[in-house]
Structure 1
Amino acid sequence: MLDPILSRWLDVQAQALDVGSCDPQEVLPRLADANVLRVGVPKALGGLGGDVAGAVEVIANVASHSLAAAFVCWGQRSFIEYLLQSPNERLREQLLPDLLSGKLAGATGLSNAMKFLSGIETLQISAEPTEDGWTLNGRLHWVTNLRKTGFVAAAAIEHAGGGAPFILAIPDSVAGLQRSRDLDLLGLQSSNTAALGLEGVELSRDWLLHEDARKFLPTVRPAFLGLQCGMSIGLARRSLAEVANHLGSSRTVLRDELQALRVTLDHLVSELKQGLLAGRFAAQPVPLFKLRIALAETAASAVQLELQASGGKAYLTAHGSGFARRWRESAFVPIVTPSLVQLRTELHRQANL
């Protein structure tokens, strides 16, 4: 369960967070104050203990109130996970306290890298070696949680002269790093989502998360995707709860479909958590891809059922603003990287190997 203060704030601000009228700088401190960022982080490192399955539940709980806030939570928690799994202990000690407290925003920045891992896209940042690090050039077109008061972004980097691609943490303070204006999104506008341009950015080896992207990415991909699935889970649960609230004597015909979706959702969540905790998805990503697709489809079905259960009042502004927001949120779930099309493309490729 979420902290009641956070739950109330998210409910009040959900519409504003979606359309961008809520100050995006306020989201991360709210999440941090409720300790949602510390779940699944070892106590010795300032966390609350637990595991990644607990972190998935946290994001699902946030998403049941606001997908925009859950999107920010996913970005922050994913970056924290990169630090937890990085061999760079000094960087972890330097950044983790401010990430957990919400003072510093962590941006995953690895959407391009995940597509690179599946052979869908080339890396968008290249590096020339210097005496103690690299000079970076390139662009990341879509990065979330680029908080204007301080952020650090993870990115996969290609060696201009060849060699294994690697993973860097890029702080907002370096010269040559440009943050665009927030992207004009259909929803989720208070999520600090923008583009990053790098022109002659000089960074030392102190900021190295991992020296080999092809080894690191499969290791963190289960958490990256698993935490992302929390957004679908929370949205589906909220819409199914709304369906149950709307069911009356005139709509009992929908009861069987509601129950079937609940059973499906519970089964998928159980499969996800079991796979994450058993560590199966690092070596066998295909089942995880299928779960991500199935959960997104379940969320879409849940929102569609909410529309049917609500009837015409869902189309009235006075009554349907919450539904309209969830409808927009459900349109985002299939396209967040890796999109369902990208996942299906990868499944098709795997099937034909």
Structure 2
Amino acid sequence: MLDVQSMNTGDAAALPGAEVVEAVRALSARELPSLVNRIDVDGYYPEDLMRAFGRLGAYAHHLPGKSPSVDLMTSINAMAAAGEHCLSTSFCMWCQDALAWYIYASDNEHLRTGIGPQIASGAVLGGTALSNPMKSLFGIEPMRLKGRRVAGGYVVKGLLPYVSNLGPDHYFGGIFEVEDGGTTRNVMAAIPCAAEGLSLADNAKFTALDGTRTFAVQMRDVMVPDNWVIADPVDDYIKRIRAGFILLQAGMAFGLIRDCLRLIEQCKSPLGHVNKYLDVQAEPLAEGLAAMEAEVARLAATPFESDRDYWRAVIEARLAAGDASVAAAHAAMLHCGARGYVAGATAQRRLREAYFVAIVTPATKQLRKMLADMAH
């Protein structure tokens, strides 16, 4: 069990980015190898570790106004350091990063000074319920949450099938549709799982990523007061946060691909004489990873850029991350052969995890649709 109380990191948000990444890497290397099969097979949620990463500063450097600069790469690289061992954990870190991103990119001072610092430090954990809205905003499916205006806020109802990194004391960022005088608009809010009328249901067991506390969220006339509102309406706000939302996901891909390269390297001595005949070798995968890391770093330097070509490049980078994750995990599986195909082997877990990078919102098919829409 991780002794989270014994860790004394001081003001974690003030630590230099490189130190944060190395601290997360060291903690991940110490804790995750013994937990990863439990996470994968039993659906264990590493809550203590998630909170410890927060105290190290893993969720703070990318936040507008929280750090001296908006440093997405520290958060991405911290996520990747954990992802070298476990994609479930790095995905939960992305959920936490995204929730903090929403709050600190908002004009709501109540949220920025209230739960904002607690989310940035990992004292409060939470997720992002933007899978449905991100699909809805790009014409793929209808908005699942509906709200109506009442005195002091909104009353919201609806069902979201999959929201991750949740628990009874967690929060999530959600968007609901409001009809007002014959027109509709979308409103975003930070919503506590403990809100009256809100329930969580564990309805599904996943092929991978089952240790991510992913629930169906049912809202039955939940009161959402004005001081929980992140943006109303969301149109301009979504354009402000969308690049950061997507670029932060690169950390999952980076960590997974690095571990796939490690698996391929491990096989060189016993199997190199036959693995050399496989079409995909480590060198081009490593070169592709380096190029992808450089492109994400370039884009992450200006996450609020509004230029159309910049947005297209963000979409292309995210598409490349999903494609490269699946390719690297597929190659690692073939290089490992039967030893990677047994229950508990890292290679077969990595292959299952890699598909998640390609299907989590925005999925490969949505990204391709977005690029096609931009061409018109």
Structure 1 and Structure 2 fold alike (TM over 0.5): yes
User: Match for residue 73 of structure 1?
Assistant: 93
CA distance in structure 2 between the aligned counterparts of 1:70 and 1:180, rounded to whole angstroms: 23
Q: Which is worse superposed, 213-222 or 101-110? A: 101-110
CA drift of 1:193 comes to 0.4
Contact 1:139 1:196 (C-alpha < 8 Å) held by counterparts:
yes
Contact 1:91 1:206 (C-alpha < 8 Å) held by counterparts:
yes
CA distance in structure 2 between the aligned counterparts of 1:203 and 1:235, rounded to whole angstroms: 38
Match of 2:92, SS state, is: helix
Given the alignment of the two structures, is residue 199 of structure 1 paired with residue 225 of structure 2, yes or no? no
CA drift of 1:41 comes to 3.8
Distance 1:33 1:7, change over 3 A: farther
Which residue identity lines up with residue 151 of structure 1 in the other structure?
H
Given the alignment of the two structures, is residue 153 of structure 1 paired with residue 179 of structure 2, yes or no? no
Which residue identity lines up with residue 120 of structure 1 in the other structure?
I
User: Match for residue 116 of structure 1?
Assistant: 136
Counterpart of 1:91 (choices 97, 105, 111) is: 111
After the TM superposition, which segments of 4 or more aligned residues of structure 1 sit over 6 Å from their partners? Answer: none
Match of 1:209, SS state, is: strand
Contact 1:180 1:195 (C-alpha < 8 Å) held by counterparts:
yes
Distance 1:254 1:194, change over 3 A: same
CA distance in structure 2 between the aligned counterparts of 1:283 and 1:121, rounded to whole angstroms: 26
Contact 1:235 1:326 (C-alpha < 8 Å) held by counterparts:
yes
Stretches of structure 2 that go unaligned for 5 or more consecutive residues are 1-21
Match of 2:281, SS state, is: helix
Contact 2:241 2:304 (C-alpha < 8 Å) held by counterparts:
no
Contact 1:235 1:299 (C-alpha < 8 Å) held by counterparts:
yes
Given the alignment of the two structures, is residue 303 of structure 1 paired with residue 329 of structure 2, yes or no? yes
User: Match for residue 134 of structure 1?
Assistant: 154
CA distance in structure 2 between the aligned counterparts of 1:316 and 1:115, rounded to whole angstroms: 37
Match of 2:224, SS state, is: strand
User: Match for residue 359 of structure 2?
Assistant: 335
After superposition, what is the alpha-carbon deviation per residue over 1:42-90, rounded to whole angstroms, capped at 9, x for unaligned? 7x74x69660122111111111110000111000011001111000012
RMSD: 2.2
Given the alignment of the two structures, is residue 9 of structure 1 paired with residue 31 of structure 2, yes or no? yes
CA drift of 1:103 comes to 2.7
Structure ranking higher in helix proportion: 1
Q: With structure 2 as the length reference, what TM-score do the two structures score? A: 0.86
Q: Which is worse superposed, 161-170 or 71-80? A: 161-170
Which residue identity lines up with residue 147 of structure 2 in the other structure?
A
CA distance in structure 1 between the aligned counterparts of 2:43 and 2:213, rounded to whole angstroms: 12
Q: With structure 1 as the length reference, what TM-score do the two structures score? A: 0.91
Given the alignment of the two structures, is residue 35 of structure 1 paired with residue 57 of structure 2, yes or no? yes
Stretches of structure 1 that go unaligned for 5 or more consecutive residues are none
User: Match for residue 220 of structure 1?
Assistant: 241
**Percent identity at matched positions?**
24
